Amino acid sequence: KNEVEQSPQNLTAQEGEFITINCSYSVGISALHWLQQHPGGGIVSLFMLSSGKKKHGRLIATINIQEKHSSLHITASHPRDSAVYICAVRVGTGTASKLTFGTGTRLQVTL
Partner 1 sequence: KAGVTQTPRYLIKTRGQQVTLSCSPISGHRSVSWYQQTPGQGLQFLFEYFSETQRNKGNFPGRFSGRQFSNSRSEMNVSTLELGDSALYLCASSFGTYTGELFFGEGSRLTVL
- Nearest-approach distance from CB 30 to partner 1, in angstroms: 6
88 is an interface residue for partner 1 by CB under 8 A: yes
Residue with smaller CB distance to partner 1, 86 or 107: 86
Distance CA 86, CA 90 (A): 13
Q: At its nearest, how many Å lie between partner 1 and the CB of residue 16?
A: 29
Residue 96 DSSP code = G
- Report yes or no: 101 and 23 within 8 Å, Cβ to Cβ: no
Q: How far is the CB of 84 from partner 1 (least distance, A)?
A: 10
Residue 57 lies near partner 1 (rule: CB under 8 A) = no
Task: Single out the segment in contact with partner 1 by CB under 8 A; choices: 15-23, 54-62, 64-72, 86-94.
Answer: 86-94
Query: How far does CA 12 lie from the centroid of its chain?
Result: 16
Q: Give the bridge partners for 85, in sequence order.
A: 36, 105
